[in-house]
Structure formats: C-alpha cells, structure tokens
C-alpha cells in the first residue's frame, strides 16, 4: 500500500519548495482530475499517508483536500474516505437555434425589478454616512503605486498600443491576467480566451447578446441579486426565470425542474463563491449539480466572481469555472479590489464562445482604455496588485470584526451573517421591521439598503434585514458610520 501511495504522489509532478505547498498540491490535483489521470470515484490516500509520501505537513494536505471538497472536485464521507467527485459526461451541444414565434409575440421573461418606493420621512439633505454595499474604500486606492505602473507602462508601450487594437483587449494584460487568475482563483485559462471589458455590466451585455444570437431565450437568475443585472438581460430580450432559494443557497436542481414554470434556460447567472447579497458560498454538491446541468443541457453558467479575493477566515473558495472551462463563463472585475472608476473587467470564455464574444464587442466598440489596460498589466506583473489586495483584506477584516462586535454589544438579538468573505454583511431584523429601520437610518443620516431591495419581484418576502457595506466609508468616517448604524438597530 505504501508503494501505491508513493506512485500516486510522484505522478502529481509537484514542486515541493517555496511557501505555496498547499496551492501547488491543489493545482496538481485539479489538473490530474481535469486530464483524466484521476478518474471519478478514485479513492485518494489519507491526508497522513499522502503527507508522508510528499514530505509535507499533514495539515497542508488536509486543508488542500477540504478546499477541493468545497470547490466540488472531491467528496469526503465518513467511512469511505476522500474520492474524486463524479461528474456527468459532457456532450457536444449544437448552438441553440431560435424557434419561430407568432407575429407580435414577445419573448418569455419575468417582470422587470420593481423599484423600492422613495422614503418620504423628512431627513437631512444628504447622508452623513454611507454603508451601501458594492463599493470599496475609494480613499485607499493606491495612487502612488498606480502612477508608477502607469509611467512604466506608457514608457514601454509600443506605438500601436494607441490605435484601435484588438477588441479582446491588450495582449499584455490578457497574459498576466491568465497567470493571476490561475494562481489566485483556480481559473483554467489561456490569454486567447480572455476578453477585457468596461465593467461587469458591459461583459454581461456582450455575453447576453451572443446567447440571444444563438437562440437562447431564457437566462435563469438567483432569488436575490442586483436588479440591474436582470434588467439588462430582460432589456436585451431574454427571459429571466428565478431559481428558488433555501437555507443552503440557490436550488440549482430546479434548472430542470417544475419551479421555472415552463421556462427552458440556456444559461444561469450566479454568484457561486459569495452569493450577493446574502453572502453564502454555493455548497459543493450544488456546485457540481449546476455544472452537470450545463454539460447535460448544453447550457452555460455565467459566474459573477465579483469579490473572490476577499475571504477572511480561510483560503478563498476557488472559481466554479475550474470544474468545467467549456461550460462556465467566468466574469471578474477590478471594481471591488481597486476602484469601479477604472472600468476594468474581464471574461474568461469557453472556446465555443470566445470568437463570437470578441466579434460582438468589436462591432459595438472597444471601450476599455489601452493605456489603463497596460497600466493594470504592469500593476499585476510587478506584484503591486497582490500587495494591495493583501493590505485591503486585513483592513476589511478588521472592519468586519468591529462591525460584529458593535452589533453584539448594542443589539444582541441581531444576527450578523455572510461575514466569511466579501465587503458586506447581512444584519437580520425582526419580521416586518425592515422599512421602519430604513426610515430611521435615513433620519439619522445613514445610507444603507435593505435585503428586500435585492429580492426578485416574484420571490415571497420571508426575510427582513440590512445589507451593510463595511468597506465603503473611508477610515476617517468608519467609526461614525458604525455608531450611526448601532443607533438605528432595534
């Protein structure tokens, strides 16, 4: 048996030096599964046996196994050990063709998100404190390091960089992005599969147009999310049936079930690593199930990885895209890690979609500034981006901890959830009190949003709460915002 495990370990071709032993082991196991060297159902050695074989700490192997279970690559059950997760067999699906519709008929869709009525209670002219989610601490933008990167990038830029260029984006940025995403998010990527775009909404618009051109009529969405995203899809002519939600997150098994009322989605939009706004990660069995659905149906998963770098209590959950790069469209952005004003985002596309998305982008505009792309490429390549993310992760974790402590002290009956990752937390309120608390917050000069402002119109109201963006205020305003929040909690 010892020899069998020794052979198993050596076949992984691990580099066992340096500080990233766990990441190296995880990458090797992912590649072994992806390439078929480790088949579905294969039982892996115990963490103790593999650690001894590879000459590393047992905890390093155990942590790697746990992360890969969370990502859906492996399964672990008492008495049966750790095994390679079983995957549905992929099939090559023909592009969907549009079905003829009766003259004058409109595509199936859900209604557009209903705007929350404006608060009418008199209040100060402008909020003194902003705890709305979705924005990082803009005062912490690394201006000096960005300026250095911009100068180096402009000095080295070829003349052709100032022309119209490749609609996919600058090759310098796509090359370093491919390396970074593989290392930091477990994304399986090559530069030619990346399309740089001007924010997540721009990327969603492009992929939505390609899906529509292929005959897709519906893109399923989660029960809670940004109404702007669903609105963009419905505005493009796509239906947006809503997937049910329970205590474990989005019920992806309903993609082929009766809950969608006759809709047949060709894609699903998800925040799998950190559901927005409720905050949980999609459980391993549901990560596997949504990829299996895409393989069996020929559909696509649109993965919105909006804040994947910010996880505080353990290593980040890897991107869903790594489970099947040909069925998952990965969308990432610098809006949360640096600043939304940069208008820099990216899509990692299946081979079957890459050329179509690039063509649609090129036909509309090129949008993303070439000098900004070159500066970001230099910022990434120099290590400045990694240093900035590490510093902000520590800062946001301290704020999260301060938020949890303050709420526990001033409102011990208020539960704080969704705090393992991201830039916001959810504060659960007593049933029926959300609107009253929002009015009180406005009166006290506090800008904050309720959970039900992110609920799809067809979803029953079963949860009252506040979505608190603890990253938004600058350091100078954070303590004041925290005191204002505690004042309005029941």
Hey, how many other C-beta atoms are within 10 angstroms of the C-beta on 19? 7
Contact by Cβ (8 Å): 223, 455 = yes
CA dihedral 112, 422, 408, 127 (to 10 degrees): -60
Q: What is the pLDDT of residue 463?
A: 94
Strand-pair category, 219-220 with 267-270: parallel
Q: Which CATH class is domain 2-84?
A: mainly alpha
Reported as a single tens digit per residue, the pLDDT across 468-479 is 999 999 999 999
Q: What angle do CA 197, 202, 205 make, to 5 degrees?
A: 130
State the pLDDT confidence band at 4, using cuts at 50, 70 and 90. very low
Reported as a single tens digit per residue, the pLDDT across 338-373 is 999 999 999 999 999 999 999 999 887 666 799 999
* Boundaries of every domain in the chain: 2-84, 129-141+386-488, 143-382
CATH of domain 143-382: 3.40.640.10
Residues in the chain, overall count: 490
DSSP track, 152-209: HHHHH--GGGGSS--TT--HHHHHHHHHHHHHHH-----GGGEEEESSHHHHHHHHHH
Joined tokens for residue 167? 């609609």
H or E element: which one contains 32? helix 21-35
Omega prior to 199 cis, within 30 of 0: no
For residue 39, the 8-state DSSP code is -
Q: What is the pLDDT of residue 69?
A: 86
Greater confidence (342 vs 16) lies with 342
Greater confidence (93 vs 66) lies with 66
DSSP track, 107-165: ---PPPPPPPPPP-S---SS-SEE--SS---GGG--HHHHHHHHHHHHHH--GGGGSS-
Evaluate the CA torsion angle 54, 58, 62, 63 in order and state its sign: negative
Residues of the chain with pLDDT > 90, as a percent, come to: 68
Q: Where are the beta strands (DSSP E) in 36-99?
A: 74-77, 81-84
Joined tokens for residue 318? 């890897």
Q: What is the pLDDT of residue 19?
A: 58
DSSP, collapsed to helix, strand or coil, labels residue 347 as strand
Greater confidence (60 vs 320) lies with 320
State the pLDDT confidence band at 76, using cuts at 50, 70 and 90. confident
Q: Which CATH class is domain 129-141+386-488?
A: alpha beta
Angle of helix 58-71 relative to helix 284-297, nearest 10 degrees, comes to: 50
CA dihedral 399, 405, 406, 411 (to 10 degrees): 140
> pTM of this prediction?
0.81
End-to-end CA distance of the chain: 61
> With b meaning 16 or more CB within 10 Å and e meaning fewer, what string describes 92-118?
ebeebeeeeeeeeeeebbbeebeeeee
Domains 2-84 and 129-141+386-488 share a fold: no
CA dihedral 413, 414, 415, 419 (to 10 degrees): -140
Reported as a single tens digit per residue, the pLDDT across 413-458 is 999 999 999 999 999 999 999 999 999 999 989 999 999 999 999 9
């Amino acid at each position: 048996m010892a020899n069998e495990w020794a052979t198993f370990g050596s076949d992984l071709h691990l580099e066992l030096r340096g500080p990233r032993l766990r990441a190296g082991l995880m990458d090797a196991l992912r590649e072994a599964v992806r390439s078929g060297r480790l088949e579905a159902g294969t039982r892996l050695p115990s963490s103790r046996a593999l650690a001894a074989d590879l000459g590393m700490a047992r905890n390093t192997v155990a942590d790697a196994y746990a992360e890969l279970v969370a990502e859906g690559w492996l399964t672990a059950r008492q008495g049966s050990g750790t095994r390679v997760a079983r995957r549905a067999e992929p099939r090559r699906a023909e592009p969907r063709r549009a079905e003829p519709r009766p003259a004058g008929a409109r595509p199936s869709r859900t209604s557009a998100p209903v705007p929350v009525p404006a608060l009418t209670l008199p209040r100060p002219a402008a909020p003194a404190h902003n705890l709305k989610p979705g924005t990082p601490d803009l005062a912490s933008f690394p201006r000096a390091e960005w300026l250095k990167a911009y100068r180096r990038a402009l000095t080295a830029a070829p003349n052709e960089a100032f022309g119209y260029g490749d609609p996919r984006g600058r090759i310098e940025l796509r090359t370093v992005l491919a390396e970074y995403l593989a290392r930091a998010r477990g994304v399986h990527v090559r530069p030619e599969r990346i399309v740089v775009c001007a924010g997540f909404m721009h990327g969603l618009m492009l992929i939505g147009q390609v899906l529509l051109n292929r005959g897709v009529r519906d893109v399923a969405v989660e029960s809670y999310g940004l109404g702007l995203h669903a609105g963009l899809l419905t505005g493009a002519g796509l239906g947006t049936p809503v997937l049910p939600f329970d205590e474990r997150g989005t019920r992806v098994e309903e993609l082929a079930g009766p809950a969608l009322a006759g809709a047949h989605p060709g894609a699903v939009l998800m925040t799998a690593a950190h559901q927005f706004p409720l905050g949980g990660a999609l459980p391993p069995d549901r990560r596997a199930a949504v990829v299996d659905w895409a393989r069996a149906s020929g559909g696509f998963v649109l993965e919105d990885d909006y804040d994947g770098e910010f996880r505080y209590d353990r290593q980040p959950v890897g991107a869903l895209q790594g489970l099947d790069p040909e069925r998952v469209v990965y969308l990432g952005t610098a809006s949360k890690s640096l600043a939304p004003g940069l208008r820099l985002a990216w899509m990692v596309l299946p081979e079957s979609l890459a050329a179509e998305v690039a063509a649609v982008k090129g036909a509309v505009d090129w949008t993303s500034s070439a000098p900004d792309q070159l500066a970001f490429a230099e910022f990434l390549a120099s290590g400045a981006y990694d240093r900035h993310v590490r510093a902000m992760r520590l800062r946001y974790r301290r704020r999260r901890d301060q938020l949890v402590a303050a709420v526990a002290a001033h409102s011990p009956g208020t539960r704080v959830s969704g705090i393992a990752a991201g830039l916001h937390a959810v504060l659960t309120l007593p049933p029926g009190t959300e609107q009253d608390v929002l009015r009180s917050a406005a009166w006290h000069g506090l800008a904050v949003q309720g959970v039900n402002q992110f609920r799809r119109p067809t979803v029953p109201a079963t949860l009252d709460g506040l979505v608190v963006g603890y990253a938004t205020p600058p350091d100078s305003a954070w303590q004041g915002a925290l005191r204002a929040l505690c004042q309005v909690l029941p």
